Chain A
Amino acid sequence: MTPTPTPRRWWPAAALLLSTVVCFALGGVLDHGTLDLGVTLLCYLAIAQAWNILAGFGGLVSLGSAAFVATGGYAAALLLVHTGLSWPLAVAAAPVVAMLLALLLSAALLRLRGDYFSVGTLAIAIALQALIRNWDWAGGASGVTLPVDAVPSGGNLFQLAVIVAALAMALTLHARHSAFGIRLAAIRDNEPAAAGLGVAVRRHQLAALLPSSAITGLAGAVIAFQFVVISPDGVASVSWSLNAVLMTVVGGTGTVLGPLLGVAVVYYGLTRELQSEQTLSLVIEGVLLIAIVRFAPQGVWPLLCRTARRLLGPRPGTGRPVTGRGDEDETVPSGTETLAMDVA
């Protein structure tokens, strides 16, 4: 066994770059309905992936995605409405404001352990929604209407969403393959042990929280552009938090591609396909969610990969045992182990 962390490989980054370029180009050819669906899916992907970095890799199970979606969305919207900045600047401000919020809260949030972190982040999301509802400068309960002509739409909005989602994917790849990611996973698996090995726990958690909030805020700005009208019941709704969790868990927590599949299954496969079924849609969605986690508790993506591998079978001659390390088919390997080997 070689005592190195999971090495960076060229192919995931290349695949990401390729799909980003392809998707970006698609922004010029697809029809409006597909583009709009794409924006929705890509925003969910960015939010789910941001949650995945925090929870799947960092072990910080957040229910606060909604707070950062709202912060990003409102930051971009209020800048556009009240200062007349151009939209690229408003988009750029969204992740900054979201990170500032995260930084402000981190002193308290990162003191919370395990389940308390989840409950604390949920409290933040609800408090922020209630705050916006009472904040007249931000439109109060009725919300803000963005100047339609001053925000990107159609293909341009789609391309913006592609960039945001690609950033989220790139960040996940980094968390998956870098030494930073290994140390983060070590904290997730055994905090005292990681601290004992000399890992600065708070600093690493903060280093996961900030970019995760930034991506979520960025997605919030795109959602604000897409929705045009944003209100506390919309962008600040706790449903963003729930969806981030659902989509990532269904796809595969702690994997790079799981959230991608999760977004497709939960939004495109369940919510969207069943939307004309009314009561029946609740039944089908409920049953399917239960069935998915019952038969694929690690997520659909790892299950697919395992199935694929079983079907392909070991090829004679390679001789090397097949495993999940470095592959996308398992949750992140135990960080402490790897780190211990690393340090040794």
Chain B
Amino acid sequence: MSLDVLAAGILAGGLYALIGLGISLVFGVLGLMNLAHGELVIGGAYLASLLVVDAGWDPLAALPLAMAGMALIAYPLQRYLLTPLLRGSKSAPLVATFGLSLLAQALFQAAFGTHPKALPASYADTGLSVLGVRVQTVYVIAFGLTVVLCAGTHLILTRTRAGSALRAASADPDTAAVLGIDVDRVYAMTFAGAAALAAAGGVLTGVAQSFTPSSGLPLLLTGFAVMALAGIGSVGGVLAAGVALGVLQSVSVSLFGGGWRDVVVYLAFFLVLAVRPQGLFRKAYAG
């Protein structure tokens, strides 16, 4: 395996981590398996496409707006639909998120058509050479941005009042409520934050690859894989798990060929779970 391929695997892992971070956050704090996470990612890409494709913005300039937009859409969804459901039963919110994912796909189809779209940018198809290793610029940007967003998330969780409220609500919502924490609001903020992170991943996916109304499912599975490797509730672990997934894919493709990639990746991922049921990189932030 050449260094180029290994480097590409590591960098692709940054994007995987960004996609996995939101899903892991929601799972860790709310205990909600969000089947619409892929659509949050794609939604970010479509929101950005309004500015990038139609108004000629640079995708990185559109990125904060796409993040804010998705957060604004996600907040009321959690506050008025999913949180009330979480009180009732464990699996009802799962079905609701599946329903949301179908709805979102229909919305994307109706609004943007079914042909693949991409976000054009100068760095989408240019490369960099570092010490003789050739890499794709957009993945370097994505990796850097992921590190920044992970660090930001970590700081918010550990250093702010909102973060401590979130950790309290995550550990024991009832006690947190008694202590005067508005758990509903904390949940909605968490979901909105996760949606914003997803949107960032979506914009970068749109630049590096392409997207269609039905691109959400593979992204969701990637997110699941990252979350399982990371262990729930650890931001640093998510980053490490994303990179591990990227490297694992590169290595398995080099050793066994592309056809066996998913067999190797998912079996490895299952074995890791079996050996370390709490995740490979768990360093708990919650509780």
Q: Spell out A's residues near B (CB within 8 Å).
A: 55, 61, 107-109, 111-113, 115-116, 118-120, 122-124, 126-127, 129-131, 133-134, 242, 245-246, 248-250, 253, 279-280, 282-283, 285-290, 292-294, 297-298, 331
Contacts and interface: CB of A to CB of B under 8 A. Distances in A.
A290 B261 CA distance: 35
A282 B109 contact: yes
B285 interface: no
Interface residues of B, number: 47
Contacts of B91: 55, 61, 245, 248-249, 253
Contact of A130 (B27, B89, B95, B263): B263
Contact of B106 (A245, A283, A288): A283
Interface of B: 27, 31, 33, 81, 84-85, 88-96, 98-106, 109-110, 221, 224-225, 227-228, 232, 259-263, 266-267, 269-271, 273-274, 277-279
17 contacts: A61-B91, A109-B274, A116-B232, A118-B33, A119-B224, A119-B228, A120-B270, A123-B266, A242-B98, A286-B100, A286-B103, A287-B99, A289-B98, A289-B102, A290-B81, A293-B96, A298-B88
A233 to B, nearest CB: 13
Given A282-B106, A289-B96, A290-B103, 12 more contacts: A61-B90, A116-B278, A120-B228, A123-B269, A130-B261, A130-B266, A253-B89, A282-B105, A286-B106, A293-B95, A294-B96, A297-B88
A47 B101 CA distance: 23
Contact of A294 (B85, B109, B263): B85
B251 to A, nearest CB: 16
Nearest to B275: A108
A249 B95 contact: yes
Nearest to A118: B33
B260 to A, nearest CB: 6
Given A287-B103, A293-B95, A122 B224 contact: yes
B263 A131 contact: yes
B88 A123 contact: no
Nearest to B84: A294
Contact of A115 (B31, B96, B106, B109): B31
